[in-house]
Each structure stands twice: as structure tokens, then as C-alpha cells.
Chains A and B, each alone.
Chain A
């Protein structure tokens, strides 16, 4: 109050008028007397839920990754320090799994992004019945991954699969089943995921396409742009945020992918399709190397986060770069 009066005096304004307007200090509620704010109370339920569902398991995994656990009658838990991580570096299998993951994630992402942008640009041009076309395009997305795996396994079945039959007709895969060939198995997996998840990219990109104002294209046409240069200089740069989001969602999803691979190839033939998610599953839940599995799982999490950050940084050029 004293300070307030001083400043008003300096500025040459009568203080009297201001003193009366000071907020009333009475009427403080019980909530305000506690060392927590109303905002904290509002946030509490979600933070508690998040802790139970996410933070506690994360802490447990970190803890597990430094332990060796033997499921014996005595349930041994030995602290081994960074041993699990050292094992991981020296284990050739985990590197093979990472290589398979890079092929799987990289191949799927580029194929899905390319197709997704192409399909969304085409859908955007459809004038009559756009909703019908969009509904048809997004249908695969609504099927459970396990069902997609089963469906494709059926289509690619060496004896009665429809696609195998078609491939055989043009002289391919006659001696080797598609999912049994080290080269084609990965390609088939990538196609499967592309079939299911390209629609998500289509949806995200289409929404962004619709938000680009028509007059920008008119200005570009007057400025001398052809159809291609319009796409290159107007559409594509303005799609960047949507592409970043699509890449982010898909890369995170692909990194921890499991169901379709588990159903169709189980990681074979000869581990060529054993991506990191499947590897972690095997270590943890088939061989019960809980400590080692947790360590690999943690690395997987870190890699996923770094990849996501890289995508956002690469495409958006850093947030807040609007000036």
C-alpha cells in the first residue's frame, strides 16, 4: 500500500482516489489458506491417474533394468548395475532387431507418407461424393491390428491365399511362400501396415489441405505458378505441421509394433522380421529375462522420443519460429 501511494504521488495523481479501490482482504476461503492452488486441485485427478498408469510402471521398468530376476522358487532379485546394458551392446541379436526395425519403420513411414499425401490431394479434388470416398479410404484403420494380421496371413497363405495365387500367376513366389522368404516377408509386413495406416495420414493431411485458403492458390496462379509449383511452394510448405504430426504418430506406433508381426511371421524367417518390439516381448515374456528385456525396452523408449523430437525439429524448424 505504501509503495502504491508513493508511485502515485510521483506521477502527480491524487492518492486518495486509489486507496479506496484496494481489494478487500476479507472473505478468504479455506482452500486459499492451504499451500495448494485451485489449479492444482483441478489437475490432481489426471496427475494421479497418469502416475498410476504411466509413471509408476516407468519407474518399475527403470528399476528392473538394473536387476537380474530369476523365476525360481526363491524368486531371486539380484542388483547387477549396468550389466544388462553392457549385454545389450555386445549382443548381436539386438542389433539385428534394430536393423530390422529401421527397415520396417523407415519403409513404412516413407511409403505411408508418400501415399497418404497423394491420396489426400486426390480426395481433396473430388467434388462429388467426397465423403463416400473418404469413408472407404479410412476403413482399414478401423480394423484391429490382430485382425489385419490374420486377414493378410490368409491373403498371403501359400496354398489358398488370393494374393499368393495372383503372384503365382505372374510367376512369382512359386517355390517360396511370401511370408517365408526373407526378402518378401519384410516387404509384406510393410505393405500390411501401409494398407492399415495410410488412411490416418490421409485424414490428417486432408484436414490440413482443407484449411489452406483458396485465394493463396489464386495468388500463386497470378504469380506464375503451374499446378506442380503450386504444390511445391504453397501446398507442401503449408502441410508441414500436419506431416509432422502424422510422422510423429506413425513413428511412435511403428516403433512399438508387435501384433501384426507376431501373428504373421512371428519374427521369421530367420529373424529377418524380428523388429525391436517383438524382441522385447520375447526377452521379457518368453525367456523371462525381465531385467534385460526392461533395459532394451527403455532404450526403445528413448529412441522413440528422440525420433519424435527429430521429426518435429526437422519439419517445423523448431516451435515458435513464426516471426
Chain B
């Protein structure tokens, strides 16, 4: 087991014309499960491949344990990697696939290799598949074999490159818990790359959000969710995405006004301390869909009420998702399944001052939602909860 550290790592392609990873510094603690998450092309896979040694870093240092590994071949780094498409050797049966790394990189005898393979197979419940060729296995079974190949090596670190992307949704959730369980059991430092924020939230001890080759934020899942560092993280983490709208601080310094006038918001409500804003500042307002309360248009809220026309209703069973347009921006509200407006219906919506996120014109977070006073948060819920369709 080892700590992994990336120190000002940059990866450029085509003589610097394409910067895949820009000045990335990360430290992954011994035994930690770090999830690298971001949209396609954000450099997360490149980062992982640099740690694996499949790509060379243009600048910066990568170390595994006390050793700087930049110049080492993948086989010298003592890591194991699980690939998105499993990368099982098609001509070897499961037993040989799992034992291949041991055969090449250790001096273990055949019987010892055999024992380790059996052990790994037992842990993954693929004991009865050992004599089969990968072609005869289902996607989930192939993924287990790929995991077995990594586990059996007992490496310093596991590297996962979107290992669940090729599985169907149900299997993905099952394997998600499986991987978490095994990682916890073995306590091996792990880096897990995914574009799925739900996977990131549920699996990671910490998650690192990347975009355009740069690290946006690193922290525990709840921290990243509740206190996003910027507009990108706020929009990327959480499903459905956070609702946002661009506003300008009005002349009185406490009101926010959207450009089209569809939404004004009084920051002074609820005796909330004012953020450091001056009239004329451009501010992006963000609200999570679960913080938006919606009622039929005739009913008014005690808080500030806004009106919109429902465009789409998505029933999820446990909740309904309402989509409506707020001054050109598409907003989502997660409401109780009992509240089922028709598309085209006018509704009233409101969001508490506490739930508000504010981002400045560079997208940096000025204010995150207030979770400090649970009693107050409860009061707000209670005030909204009298028979109305809120959450």
C-alpha cells in the first residue's frame, strides 16, 4: 500500500497545442479511494494513464510511495489497472488471465500462483468460471475477471479506468458496491476514473472534479455536493443538475434581478447576512432541484413566489421532476409524486434563502447553501410542508 502523489503534472500533446492535463497536483492517502470525475475529455483518464505509466507526463512529478515513478515502466510501478473494456486476453482462460501478471512479475511457483488465483476467484465469486475463455462470459463476469486480475497481484495501488461504463444500469450498481467492498477489505490505495457523478458520490472517500484538464475541486462527496468551489462543480455534481440563472445586483444592493426580469430575489429575506456584493455585480444564482418548492399557481408561498409554465413532467415513481423555463434557462424541480401538473400549466415556485448558491462572474462560489443551522432548516421545511407539494 502506498500514497500516490502528483505534483504539478502537465500533459501536452502535439508539442503543446493540446493540453490534456494542466498543472495538476493531487495527493492520495494510503488506502484511500479517490474518484476522479469529470466530463469526457477533461483529462481524468490521461491522469490515470500517467500514474499507470501508459502515458508520459510532460512536466511534473508522479510518485507512488516514496519513489518517483516518472521514468519507470508500468511493470516497475507495482500497480494494477482495470480497463473500461476489461482488456482480457482472449486466448487465455480465466485462470490464466488472472494468473498472467503473477507469472510475469513474480517468482512464485505454479502452485502458489494457483492458490492466489483461487483465492481471488473466491473473493469475486467466479470460482466456477476459471476454465472458461473470456468470450464465453457475460459483461459482468468479464469485469469480475478483470478485477481478479488486479486483486491477485496485491499491488501498491489499483487504477480503475471507467470500469463499469460497459455494464447495464443494474449490474453497474451491483458492481459499484462490490468494488467498494473489495477495496475496503483489501485497503489498497485506489484511483477510480468515471464520468458518472453518482458513481463518484457513492464510491469515493474523496472525489476530485476535473474540467478542461484542470482540477476544479477535491473533497469528500458531501463537501463537494454542498459546497461546490465553482459553477462547474455545482452543475456537474448532483442529478438533476443545479438550476442556475444569471442575475445582476439591483441598485439597492439586496435584490437580484435576472436580465429578462422574469425573476427577482430579495437577498435580505430571513435576516440572512448579505454576501459581499455591490450594485451592478453580475451574479449567477444556483438552486438544487430538491430545494425548489412548487405549488399550483393560485397558491402563494410565504416566501418570495415566482411563476413559470411547466414544460415537461417526468415521473420517477418516488418523485416527479418538473421542467420549466425561467428567463431562457431550463429549471428542474423535484416534487412529491402527488403533485402532477400538466405540461402548459402555470405554477408558482419558491426557494428558501438558505438554499441559495451564488457565483460571481468568473463562476467562483461567493456563497453556498447554509447548512449550519439545522433547526432553521427544519422550520423552513415545516412552513412549506402544510399540504403543499414540496420536498
Contacts and interface: CB of A to CB of B under 8 A. Distances in A.
Interface string B68-105: 00000111000111010101111110000000110011
Interface residues of A, number: 20
Interface in A226-241: 226, 229, 233-234, 237-238, 240
Contact of A238 (B53, B75, B80, B90): B90
A222 B74 contact: yes
Nearest to B93: A323
A234 B88 CA distance: 11
Given A223-B104, A233-B100, A322-B135, A215 B85 contact: yes
Closest A-B pairs by Cβ, 7 of them: A224-B105, A223-B101, A224-B104, A219-B87, A224-B75, A215-B87, A237-B91
A322 B131 CA distance: 11
Interface class of chain A by DSSP:
helix
Contact of A223 (B91, B132, B135, B149): B149
A238 B80 CA distance: 23
Given A213-B87, A218-B81, 7 more contacts: A218-B83, A221-B54, A223-B104, A223-B105, A226-B75, A229-B104, A237-B91
B136 A322 contact: yes
A224 B87 CA distance: 15
A216 interface: yes
Interface of A: 213, 215-216, 218-226, 229, 233-234, 237-238, 240, 322-323
Size bracket of the B interface: 20 to 34
Interface string B283-313: 0000000000000000000000000000000
22 contacts: A213-B85, A213-B87, A216-B87, A219-B87, A220-B89, A221-B53, A221-B54, A221-B75, A222-B79, A222-B80, A223-B104, A223-B149, A223-B153, A224-B101, A224-B105, A225-B104, A226-B75, A229-B104, A233-B104, A234-B89, A237-B91, A322-B133
B229 interface: no
Interface of B: 52-54, 73-75, 79-81, 83, 85, 87-92, 100-101, 104-105, 132-133, 135-136, 149, 153
A219 B136 CA distance: 20
A218 B133 contact: no
Nearest to A219: B87
Contacts of B135: 322-323
A323 B133 contact: yes
Given A322-B133, A322-B135, A221 B87 contact: no
Contacts of A323: 132-133, 135-136
Contacts of A240: 91
B87 A218 contact: yes
A215 B83 contact: yes
